[in-house]
Chains A and B, each alone.
Chain A
Amino acid sequence: MKLDTKSLVLMAVAIVINVVVGQIAVWIKLPLYVDAVGTILVGILAGPFAGALTGVLTNLIWGLISDPVAAAFFPVSLVIGALAGILARMGWFKSVGMTIAASAVIGVISTIVAVPIIVYMFGGVTGAGTDFATAYLLAVGQELVQSVAIANLVQNLADKILTCLIAWLIVKRLPMRFTSGFAFYGYSKA
């Protein structure tokens, strides 16, 4: 699939947004990731392929620059970008209510992809804010996989709702002169 110049420029900007915002969230130990705003933005404007590619490149570049833990989660970002594009194609980003429903779908599916990576590659921790919730659930008697799954599902739902709403608001505030260059965006217009 060939990407036009506008999509490539958007992807580059989206990767920078993802890495900068995501790294700030890691540094201040925020219990949210907020590292997929750019990925979802690209998914809505340019489609599932561009969204998935943005997600994969974000995590690989981020991993190479500073945080190899992020690189291991590239399948999660791939799924987030692809889902954002697919749901946008189905018209799920037309209103606030539908955007929240789309973010819940993205949150649940991305958790299903993330949990095996967290448990089997990193022993259940990632050095992020979720580790506190995982440790708490372990302390009250849950198993490791269950603790990681519950902590990440709750966090991912909150994170993806916030992330999708931010991306949706950005898209809605973009000038029509800019968005008219993205034919795919037609599926998300109310």
Chain B
Amino acid sequence: MAVARPNGTDHALLYVPGRSFLHRLNPLTKLTLVLWCAVAAFALPPQGTIPLALLAIAVGIFAGAGKVFARRLIFTLTPLSLALFVVHGMLVDHEGARAAFLGLDLSHDGLAYMVRILGRIAALLSGSLLFVCTTHPARLLKALDSHNFPPGMAYVI
């Protein structure tokens, strides 16, 4: 991966060049926000994770990375949604009511569990995409270097 062109386009990276507030933010501050997002994704109920993911997507669109967000979310969440729907909606014997829908015997609790897991992953993915789409690796390396991060480790990253 090339790291020497923070203002140019580089198709090997998900980075989207821009001048938004997020682009100008210190990469380590953004990294801290990603960590906060990861903790929140596991600590919050779906009522918290889904709005968090939507907020991250909205900010991503505002930063000019809407296409990358859409593509990545679809690629990651589609197979997971299908697998969770089959496993928890239909196969796992959850407690609570079941209902027939289009010939399928679906579990209410199983579908609620599916939404919880998907909300968690969407929040995680959106948070990390915000960081990757608005941070060029060269800026991250400079930020790590300026905070006395071991140069060897910075090189590997």
Residues of A within 8 A of B (CB): 3, 5, 8, 11-12, 15, 29, 57, 61, 63-69, 71, 121-127, 131, 134-135, 138-139, 144
When distances are taken between beta carbons in the complex, the residues of chain A under 8 Å from B83 are: 125-127, 131, 135
Residues of B within 8 A of A (CB): 14, 34, 38, 42, 72, 75-76, 79-80, 83-84, 86-88, 91-92, 113-114, 117, 120-121, 124-125, 128, 131-132, 152, 155-157
* Best-surrounded residue of B87, B117, B128, B156 (most CB of chain A within 10 A): B156
When distances are taken between beta carbons in the complex, the residues of chain B under 8 Å from A135 are: 83, 86-87, 91
Please report the C-alpha to C-alpha distance between residue A11 and residue B75 in the assembled complex, in whole angstroms: 28
B156 near A57: Cβ-Cβ < 8 Å: yes
Please report the C-alpha to C-alpha distance between residue A122 and residue B87 in the assembled complex, in whole angstroms: 11
B125 near A68: Cβ-Cβ < 8 Å: yes
Please report the C-alpha to C-alpha distance between residue A29 and residue B79 in the assembled complex, in whole angstroms: 10
When distances are taken between beta carbons in the complex, the residues of chain B under 8 Å from A131 are: 79, 83, 87
Please report the C-alpha to C-alpha distance between residue A156 and residue B117 in the assembled complex, in whole angstroms: 24
Can you spell out 15 A-B residue pairs with CB atoms less than 8 angstroms apart? A3-B152, A5-B152, A12-B156, A15-B156, A64-B128, A65-B132, A121-B120, A122-B117, A122-B121, A123-B113, A124-B92, A125-B87, A131-B79, A131-B83, A135-B87
A134 CB contact (under 8 Å) in B34, B72, B76, B87: B87
A144 near B92: Cβ-Cβ < 8 Å: yes
Please report the C-alpha to C-alpha distance between residue A110 and residue B79 in the assembled complex, in whole angstroms: 24
Please report the C-alpha to C-alpha distance between residue A153 and residue B132 in the assembled complex, in whole angstroms: 33
B87 near A124: Cβ-Cβ < 8 Å: yes
Please report the C-alpha to C-alpha distance between residue A66 and residue B15 in the assembled complex, in whole angstroms: 12
Please report the C-alpha to C-alpha distance between residue A67 and residue B128 in the assembled complex, in whole angstroms: 9
Give B41's nearest chain A residue, CB to CB.
A68
Given the known A-B contacts A123-B84, A127-B80, A135-B87, are A65 and B14 also in contact in the complex, defined by CB atoms under 8 Å? yes
Give B14's nearest chain A residue, CB to CB.
A65
B76 near A123: Cβ-Cβ < 8 Å: no
A66 near B91: Cβ-Cβ < 8 Å: no
When distances are taken between beta carbons in the complex, the residues of chain B under 8 Å from A71 are: 38, 124, 128
Give A12's nearest chain B residue, CB to CB.
B156
Please report the C-alpha to C-alpha distance between residue A89 and residue B87 in the assembled complex, in whole angstroms: 42
B114 near A123: Cβ-Cβ < 8 Å: yes
When distances are taken between beta carbons in the complex, the residues of chain B under 8 Å from A65 are: 14, 132
Q: How far is the CB of B122 from chain A (nearest CB, A)?
A: 9
Q: How far is the CB of A100 from chain B (nearest CB, A)?
A: 30
Given the known A-B contacts A8-B155, A57-B157, are A67 and B76 also in contact in the complex, defined by CB atoms under 8 Å? yes
B91 near A123: Cβ-Cβ < 8 Å: no
Q: How far is the CB of A52 from chain B (nearest CB, A)?
A: 13
Give A148's nearest chain B residue, CB to CB.
B87
A11 CB contact (under 8 Å) in B86, B132, B156: B156
When distances are taken between beta carbons in the complex, the residues of chain B under 8 Å from A64 are: 34, 128, 131-132
Q: How far is the CB of B105 from chain A (nearest CB, A)?
A: 12
B91 CB contact (under 8 Å) in A8, A57, A69, A139: A139
Please report the C-alpha to C-alpha distance between residue A12 and residue B157 in the assembled complex, in whole angstroms: 8
Q: How far is the CB of B50 from chain A (nearest CB, A)?
A: 16
B91 near A138: Cβ-Cβ < 8 Å: yes
